[in-house]
Structure 1
Amino acid sequence: MASLGVFISCTSDAKKTNDKAKTVTAAGDTVATPEAEVGTVREPVDTAKYDALVKKMANGDTTGNWAGRKGPYPLAGAILPFKRIVVYYGNLHSKKMGALGEYAPKEMWSRLNQEVKHWEKADPSTPVQPGVHYIASVASGTPGTDGMYINRMGDKQIDSVLKIAKMQNAIVFLDIQVGLSTIQKELPRLEKYLKLPHVHLGIDPEFSMKDGSKPGKKIGTYDAADINYCSDFLAKLVRANNLPPKVFVVHRFTRKMVTNYKNIKLRPEVQVVMHMDGWGEPDLKIGTYRHFIFPEPVQFTGFKLFYKNDLKKAPNRLMTPEDLLKLKPVPMYIQYQ
């Protein structure tokens, strides 16, 4: 479960090259893209390894929901399930919305790298891809000039996040909370960033207020049609720009947050992560995962850990990598807030 934080209270033919991919951002900065090279001809996905890793991810599940491959094989350069993604989440304007924003970049990376090392020790057979997950559009408690109850971060802020990611050759997720707007209106604003090979997408149904309610008053929702719109948008960018597959994170901690999950389309250009976003004591979090993620399989799963909210009630503790590796399926995307 995300937080409105400070905003609710105030507001050509491909050919090989040895040069690292670079893109000039809106602020005029040249940013290296760590995940790929310009015009790279990538090795095709090892399908036998992919299938073996999916079986490992199922972790002995006997229901048949997770042991088999979900959807087509991904395009070359796919991160999942070959690596586990471990990220810090937040917004640079608020220390209350997550570790990304709470700490200065060097300290943030020191802390996140400790989490990465813990995951590498707990599951040495799975490499870790570090990243930052930035809330690029934040649901607001006030309507704003357009009445959409949304604060859209400017290019300068997003460019700053790209610089922070560059410090550790990390990937970036840009997250959208639409408020009273729609994902169809808000997603195109981020197109120039999503054209970068190392930039991926997250969307938050909690703050998609289709009934006109103010964000934070009740839990919002997305339908499979909204999710398919996003994956189609990403797939077209991947094909047009010769990119590796995009990772697409959908937050979820209730059943109604995502409707008609069976209609979600899987594509070789996009890797969908259904992310358990609830907070609380370990038993509650595991129950949420079992009730709302496990029984409605899409493709990959994620799990969020809250440094503060998970510890609100004594003697709660923060769940460990060892705890999460016992889940069925094992989450391949881990987010710390």
Structure 2
Amino acid sequence: MKKIAMRLGKFWIGAAALGCMALTQGCSSEGAPKEARTAVTATAVADSGAVQKKDSVAAVKDSVAAKPAADSAAAAKETAFVVKDEAASKPGAILPHKRIVAYYGNPLSKRMGILGELPPAQMLAKLDEEVKAWNTADPATPVQPALHVIVVTAQGKPGSGGKYRLRMSDHVADSVISWAKQRDAIVFLDIQIGQSTLEEEIPRLEKWLKLPQVHLGIDPEFAMKNGAVPGRRVGTLDAKEINYATGFLNDLAQRYNIPPKILVVHRFTQRMVTNYKQIELRPNVQIVIHMDGWGDRVLKKSTYNSYIKREPVQYTGFKLFYHNDTKKKGWKLYSPEGILALNPKPLYIQYQ
């Protein structure tokens, strides 16, 4: 499988999540009951997601000093883009009142993220440590723990449905939701649609999304157009597709009289989200555009500024990779204090 890279100034930034994409073979892509316990085999693509300098010069240390947390009112103003967020004032709204710290992955794979890398009890204990660190770094913004599980995984083969995606069985979502209850955590169901559509994949998740603690994530990297195959190029979603997702969530919140829903949209290239100015804000939905790139801190910050800050929608997120952000000499994982030095301050933090 060929590497994917995009020029960013004098640097190269690659596909953030290709190395965690599930490439199972011989499995139905339609989520038959027998798939409930089927292991997801994550085939890593060597270095394909690495954010690295073209000339192999050692990574430069992040020179941005952490700033003290402001009071809650000032922090809310600084962390949020200046946009209308009607949902923020509604009962049960999470943003911008709390910062979400999430563990990402799939419980059937140890290579798709920390959520599945460790047994549940150990994973939750490690999440507790991160929550404590973030509460210490910014006591003005309480942490809301979360588990972010991939329930539709992109595939390198078409499968019986010909959609290049594998739907997880109900057991996966049910298990993660039950783990989350042990920490009063919220849950994000993440979908990598392959050659399917959001209209085809989101409605089947309604029985979970109607729960007040369950939210949605969509990954444009694996939304393939014009017959493209996941893993061979970076996918894309347009504003009109994102508007479908927010419209669905908004209707759910109204129909079931539940708190505002959160939609997390992954992004690390320009093309992954098109026509961002046409993304509609809803009265019962809060949108997070999430920086999904991995590598050294300087380039992660550059990616955040280039594709998240410069094309604002509502709130921002920032992903940290325990392994890929530290895989090369000189690379270090961003600390909470380092991330809090970003402007705007991300209110959604994801660990993979």
Calculate the TM-score normalised by the size of structure 1.
0.84
Check if 1:111 corresponds to 2:126.
Answer: yes
Q: Is the 8 A contact 1:137 1:177 kept in 2?
A: yes
Q: Match of 2:76, as an amino acid?
A: V
The 1-side partners of 2:119 and 2:87 are apart by 39
Give the structure 1 partner of residue 86 of structure 2.
Answer: 72
Match of 2:245 among 230, 236, 241: 230
Q: Is the 8 A contact 1:5 1:96 kept in 2?
A: yes
Check if 1:55 corresponds to 2:69.
Answer: no
Q: Match of 1:70, as an amino acid?
A: K
> Judging changes above 3 Å, is the alpha-carbon distance between structure 1 residues 129 and 181 closer, same or farther for their aligned structure 2 residues?
same
Check if 1:291 corresponds to 2:313.
Answer: no
Q: Is the 8 A contact 1:3 1:97 kept in 2?
A: no
Q: Deviations over 1:39-81 (max 9, x none)?
A: xxxxxxxxxx9975431316xxxxxxx3x34343533210000
Give the structure 2 partner of residue 36 of structure 1.
Answer: none
Give the structure 1 partner of residue 285 of structure 2.
Answer: 270
Match of 1:129 among 144, 147, 157: 144
Q: Match of 2:84, as an amino acid?
A: K
Q: Deviations over 1:235-294 (max 9, x none)?
A: 000000010000110000001100000000111200000000000000010000010000
Give the structure 2 partner of residue 206 of structure 1.
Answer: 221
Q: Deviations over 1:212-251 (max 9, x none)?
A: 1110100000000011000000000000001000011000
Q: Is the 8 A contact 1:306 1:318 kept in 2?
A: yes
Q: Is the 8 A contact 1:70 1:298 kept in 2?
A: no
> Which fold has the larger relative contact order, with Cα–Cα distance below 8 Å and residues 6 or more apart in sequence?
2
Q: Match of 2:17, as an amino acid?
A: A
Calculate the TM-score normalised by the size of structure 2.
0.80
Query: What is the CA-CA distance between 1:298 and the residue it aligns to?
Result: 0.4
Q: Match of 1:120, as an amino acid?
A: N
Query: What is the CA-CA distance between 1:156 and the residue it aligns to?
Result: 1.3
SS at match of 1:334: strand
Q: Match of 1:106, as an amino acid?
A: A
SS at match of 1:209: coil
> Judging changes above 3 Å, is the alpha-carbon distance between structure 1 residues 234 and 51 closer, same or farther for their aligned structure 2 residues?
farther
> Judging changes above 3 Å, is the alpha-carbon distance between structure 1 residues 83 and 294 closer, same or farther for their aligned structure 2 residues?
same
The 1-side partners of 2:76 and 2:141 are apart by 12
> Judging changes above 3 Å, is the alpha-carbon distance between structure 1 residues 263 and 6 closer, same or farther for their aligned structure 2 residues?
closer
Check if 1:328 corresponds to 2:343.
Answer: yes
Give the structure 2 partner of residue 149 of structure 1.
Answer: 164
Check if 1:319 corresponds to 2:341.
Answer: no
Query: What is the CA-CA distance between 1:118 and the residue it aligns to?
Result: 0.6
The 2-side partners of 1:124 and 1:52 are apart by 13
Q: Is the 8 A contact 2:87 2:93 kept in 1?
A: no
Query: What is the CA-CA distance between 1:6 and the residue it aligns to?
Result: 6.8
Gaps of 5+ in 1: 12-25, 27-48, 59-65
Q: Is the 8 A contact 1:275 1:304 kept in 2?
A: yes
Gaps of 5+ in 2: 1-15, 28-32, 34-70
Taking only the aligned residue pairs, the percentage that are identical comes to: 55
Query: What is the CA-CA distance between 1:333 and the residue it aligns to?
Result: 0.2
Matches within 5 A, 1:29-108: 52-57=74-79, 66=81, 68-74=82-88, 75-108=90-123
Q: Match of 1:275, as an amino acid?
A: H
The 2-side partners of 1:198 and 1:324 are apart by 26
The 1-side partners of 2:145 and 2:289 are apart by 18
Query: What is the CA-CA distance between 1:323 and the residue it aligns to?
Result: 0.4
Q: Deviations over 1:198-219 (max 9, x none)?
A: 0000000000001211101000
The 1-side partners of 2:183 and 2:85 are apart by 32
Give the structure 2 partner of residue 35 of structure 1.
Answer: none
Q: What root-mean-square deviation, in Å, do the aligned CA atoms of Structure 1 and Structure 2 show? A: 1.7
Give the structure 1 partner of residue 275 of structure 2.
Answer: 260
User: How many residues are paired up?
Assistant: 293
